[in-house]
Amino acid sequence: MLDYITSYLKSDTTPGSAGNLFWAFVYIVLIFLGLSVAVIAMNWLERKILAHMQVRLGPMRVGPHGLLQPIADALKLLIKEDIMPAEADPFVFWIAPLVVVITAFTVFIVVPFGPTHAVTDMNIGVLFMLGVSSLSVLGVVMAGWASNSHYPLMGALRSSAQMVSYEIAMGLAVVSAVLMTSLNKEGTGTLSMIGIVQAQQAQHVWFVFKFFPLGLIAFFIFAVAMVAETNRAPFDLPEAESELTAGFHTEYSGFRWSLFFLAEYSAMIAVSSIAVTLWLGGWMRPFPNALGGETWDLVFSLIPGLIFLFLGAITFYSTSRMPKHPYFRVQTLGLGGFGAVLALIGLLLLIPPVRDRVQDIFWFCAKVAFSMYMYIWYRGTFPRYRFDQLMKVGWKVLLPMGIGVLILTAIAGVLF
């Protein structure tokens, strides 16, 4: 048994391809926990960042700077009454949030956090991710129909039309990136997520900069389509508050609603990680060519630990600025403890063996986090599209652009 567990540590593949069920299970649990924490953090960050963009304070009451607000929200949702409309279709109403959540979490088994840090590496990685995440629209449609109410049905119809249209543009952008993998020295393309990053490593270029500006345009198409696919502002027509109250999940409350919330954010993380893997070099650190060499490798490997130490220092500074009233004593102690945890993680990341194993994961997560910040930024900046404008952008702008980029990439690949 112990041999079985330790035997994987010597291999240099993913647990899935090594056939080690124990480590695959460990990875699945870690990814699940990490995702849940990320969703909670995103909930707080989105409200805070949006508030600051609109010159407000945002949540300030629960915990220092509202840090415990998402936990309070989760508690509220769990003890809220669960209502099902009288004329609803009970089975479909019950299963719809499950479909959305399961599809949103399943895609993460192929996400490569590092050369060996993925649950498994599939031959059809990207195809699997696109296919499974396209199933989530079924859950949305089921939710909208089963509620037996007008606003949810309108939301579901909008959502299905929108997702089917943008999937095509998204697929074309992905194909042009997959085409680029076939242009490395070995000459065979790949759909595997790890293989795509390794192709970028072998060609010494992130695909967003390859065949400039073709890679950049493909990335742009994907970046627009992925916002539409996840039903986020400015393409959040299926849940447009001013027109449809809450769209397809109007009739959902309590825990079921929180499942939709969870699924929306993990789907955002999933499509962001596709974008990062295909165009932004996956787990590779920034500037592998311009700032190459042993010294720069060392400098970049120190960054994760230093960032956590910096965050810890900021937290300690905030702790010292907390009001000195006895009422705030618990909050001050909690914030100090949080800062101590951050600093401890920072110190842990500076130890050489840990540093080498974890920096891949850090760079991947940092790129995904950047993409998530962009999501919030879009929501704070762009006004919502009208539905006909949305369809026009999808079919008349992104689709022809995608086909053009695909053809030009193929031509460039043959010429250079």
Partner 1 sequence: MAPVATTFFFYFLSALTVLSGVLVITRKNPVHSALALIMSLLGQAALYLMLYAPFVAGVQIILYAGGIMVLFLFVIMLVNIEKSLKEDQFNKQWLVGMAAAVALGALFVFVYIKGKGLFPDRTIQMPEQSNTQQVAVLLYGNYMFAFEIASLLLLVAVIGAVVMAKKRI
Which residues would be at the binding site for partner 1 (CB under 8 A)? 16-19, 89, 92, 122-124, 127-128, 130-132, 134-135, 137-138, 141-142, 145, 153, 156-157, 160-161, 163-164, 167, 188-191
Q: Which is nearer to partner 1, 267 or 335 (CB)?
A: 267
Nearest to 156 by CA among 87, 247, 246, 245: 247
Q: How far is the CB of 176 from partner 1 (least distance, A)?
A: 16
Q: Which is nearer to partner 1, 81 or 87 (CB)?
A: 87
Residue 78 CB partners (closer than 8 Å, separation 6+): 254, 255, 258
Helices (H) and strands (E) in the chain, counts: 17, 0
Q: Which is nearer to partner 1, 164 or 344 (CB)?
A: 164
Q: How far is the CB of 306 from partner 1 (least distance, A)?
A: 39
Give the whole-angstrom CA distance, residue 326 versus residue 49.
Answer: 29
Q: How far is the CB of 25 from partner 1 (least distance, A)?
A: 14
How far apart, in Å, are the Cα atoms of 373 and each of 223, 342, 376, 387? 13, 21, 5, 25
Q: Which is nearer to partner 1, 237 or 342 (CB)?
A: 237
Q: Which is nearer to partner 1, 26 or 361 (CB)?
A: 26
* Amino acid in position 346: G
How far apart, in Å, are the Cα atoms of 305 and each of 37, 207, 301, 302, 342? 20, 28, 8, 6, 10
Q: How far is the CB of 160 from partner 1 (least distance, A)?
A: 5
Give the whole-angstrom CA distance, residue 195 versus residue 173.
Answer: 18
Q: How far is the CB of 239 from partner 1 (least distance, A)?
A: 17
Give the whole-angstrom CA distance, residue 199 versus residue 186.
Answer: 9
Give the whole-angstrom CA distance, residue 372 versus residue 364.
Answer: 12
DSSP 179-240: HHHTTSSS------HHHHHHHHHHHTS-TTTTTTTHHHHHHHHHHHHHHHHTT-TTS-GGG-
Q: How far is the CB of 12 from partner 1 (least distance, A)?
A: 16
Token readout for 238 is 């299926």
Q: Which is nearer to partner 1, 84 or 127 (CB)?
A: 127
Q: Which is nearer to partner 1, 90 or 337 (CB)?
A: 90
Token readout for 383 is 């006004």
Q: Which is nearer to partner 1, 67 or 99 (CB)?
A: 99
DSSP 3-state of 235: coil
Q: What is the DSSP letter of 86?
A: T
How far from chain centre, in Å, is Cα 121? 18
Residue 20 CB partners (closer than 8 Å, separation 6+): 4, 7, 8
Nearest to 316 by CA among 345, 347, 337, 346: 337
Q: How far is the CB of 182 from partner 1 (least distance, A)?
A: 10
Q: How far is the CB of 120 from partner 1 (least distance, A)?
A: 9
Q: Which is nearer to partner 1, 57 or 407 (CB)?
A: 407
For the purposes of burial, counting CB atoms within 10 Å of the CB of 117, is it exposed (0-12), middle (13-18) or buried (19 or more)? Answer: buried
Q: How far is the CB of 359 from partner 1 (least distance, A)?
A: 28
Q: What is the largest CA-CA distance in the chain?
A: 72
Q: Which is nearer to partner 1, 167 or 239 (CB)?
A: 167
Q: How far is the CB of 8 from partner 1 (least distance, A)?
A: 12
Q: Report the residue count for the chain.
A: 416
Q: How far is the CB of 124 from partner 1 (least distance, A)?
A: 4
Task: For Cα atoms 363, 364, 369, give the angle at the middle one, nearest 5 degrees.
Answer: 95
